[in-house]
């Protein structure tokens, strides 16, 4: 899902003639949450481990009015969170 979204961003940058660099694959953040299987605390200690992986990509797109209009109209999937920084 994330890679598909990044290809759409790259296509918009190419169509509008904006310079871009990326996507850069940032390290995957791995969150592990161990929980006890037994709700009462009795018996042998058995554990379940739940894992959440957070994947990040970085793309740098040249700021230009036409490109920004197209990027604002782009539909973002529910599983993808984006952060935009204007410099």
65 within domain boundaries: yes
Residue 29 pLDDT class (50, 70, 90 cuts)? very high
Give the three-state DSSP class for 13: helix
pTM to 2 decimals? 0.70
- Exposure class string for 21-32: b at 16+ Cβ within 10 A, else e: eebeeeeeeeee
Residue 65 pLDDT class (50, 70, 90 cuts)? confident
Number of domains in the chain: 1
Query: What is the domain extent for residue 27?
Result: 2-73
Instruction: Say which CATH number the domain at 52 has.
Output: 3.30.70.600
80 within domain boundaries: no
Q: Is the dihedral of CA 37, 40, 41, 45 positive or negative?
A: negative
Calpha distance 18→87 (Å, rounded):
15
The average pLDDT across 7-20 equals 89
């Amino acid at each position: 899902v994330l890679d598909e979204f990044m290809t759409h961003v790259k296509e918009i940058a190419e169509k509008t003639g904006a310079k871009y660099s990326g996507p850069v694959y940032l390290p995957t953040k791995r969150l592990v949450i161990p929980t006890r299987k037994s709700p009462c605390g009795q018996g042998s200690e058995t554990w379940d481990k739940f894992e959440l992986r957070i994947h990040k990509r970085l793309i740098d797109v040249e700021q230009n009015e036409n490109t920004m209009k197209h990027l604002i109209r782009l539909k973002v999937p529910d599983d993808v969170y984006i952060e935009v920084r204007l410099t």
